[in-house]
């Protein structure tokens, strides 16, 4: 793990060396990563809209034949939430209000009544032994989680911090739906605030991603999940450098 983190830090120096980019380059790269992240994050949850179709929806404003209205709203909402984390990337902290805002932006086109609001019913994660807390305890758990972020930040490498925050948040599962996507948005907000590039988890790693989260929740062992996120950050760094060359 330490070797991987050192590699990430070394590649980050190469990334930082080419910054700041020209406005045109920066805009193109942001759009590239927005499309890639929106596609992969939705695909991990079963959305069938592919990367090219995601690009068409976001850049051309067109709809895709044979795809549901909900799938289109998931693309649009996720992209809006991604734009928001870029807007607040210069902030030094993350509040409970920020987390609710991410869910509001992602979910408001799908279910306005529940967007940005904690669930009022119990939820069970399919295929998992982990049972999230009941609705009556969510305010306590989320307040505790938000308060713990500053300490996690102080004690961990930024990439490790982002992975732990992702795992802890999704374990609470505070919203009726969209928790996985908000967890990945939150993770990437943490990375951006630390000056890192985002982590994109491709659908081909879905099984590994789910197994690593399950191990973290049930066996209280974060190691596989942290390693996976580190590898995804490293890959984004390499893609970034490759595109600039």
Asked if 170 contacts 203 with a C-beta cutoff of 8 angstroms, the reply is no
Which tokens sit at 183? 């967890």
Active site annotation includes 130: no
**Residues with Cβ < 8 Å from 166, sequence gap 6 or more?**
183, 184, 186, 187, 225, 229
Q: Which of 78, 103, 166, 173 is catalytic?
A: 173
Please name which of 118, 116, 115 lies closest in space to residue 137, comparing C-alpha atoms.
Answer: 118
Largest alpha-carbon pair distance within the chain?
A: 53
Residues annotated as catalytic (active site), given as ranges: 173
């Amino acid at each position: 793990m330490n070797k991987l983190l050192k590699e990430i830090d070394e590649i980050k120096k190469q990334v930082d060396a080419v910054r700041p980019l020209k406005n045109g380059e920066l805009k193109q790269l942001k759009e590239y990563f927005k499309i890639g992240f929106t596609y992969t994050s939705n695909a991990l949850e079963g959305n069938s809209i592919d990367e090219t179709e995601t690009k068409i929806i976001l850049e051309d404003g067109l709809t895709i034949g044979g795809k549901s209205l909900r799938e289109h709203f998931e693309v649009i909402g996720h992209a809006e939430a991604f734009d928001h984390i870029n807007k607040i990337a210069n902030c030094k902290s993350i509040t409970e209000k920020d987390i609710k805002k991410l869910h509001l932006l992602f979910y408001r086109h799908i279910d306005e009544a529940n967007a940005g609001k904690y669930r009022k019913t119990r939820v069970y994660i399919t295929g998992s032994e982990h049972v999230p807390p009941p609705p009556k305890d969510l305010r306590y758990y989320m307040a505790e989680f938000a308060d713990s972020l500053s300490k996690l930040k102080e004690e961990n490498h930024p990439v490790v911090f982002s992975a732990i925050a992702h795992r802890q948040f999704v374990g609470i599962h505070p919203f009726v739906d969209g928790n996985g996507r908000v967890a990945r948005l939150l993770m990437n907000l943490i990375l951006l605030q630390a000056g890192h590039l985002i982590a994109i988890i491709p659908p081909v790693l879905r099984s590994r991603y789910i197994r690593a989260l399950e191990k973290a929740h049930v066996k209280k062992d974060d190691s596989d999940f942290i390693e996976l996120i580190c590898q995804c950050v490293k890959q984004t760094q390499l893609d970034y450098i490759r595109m600039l060359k």
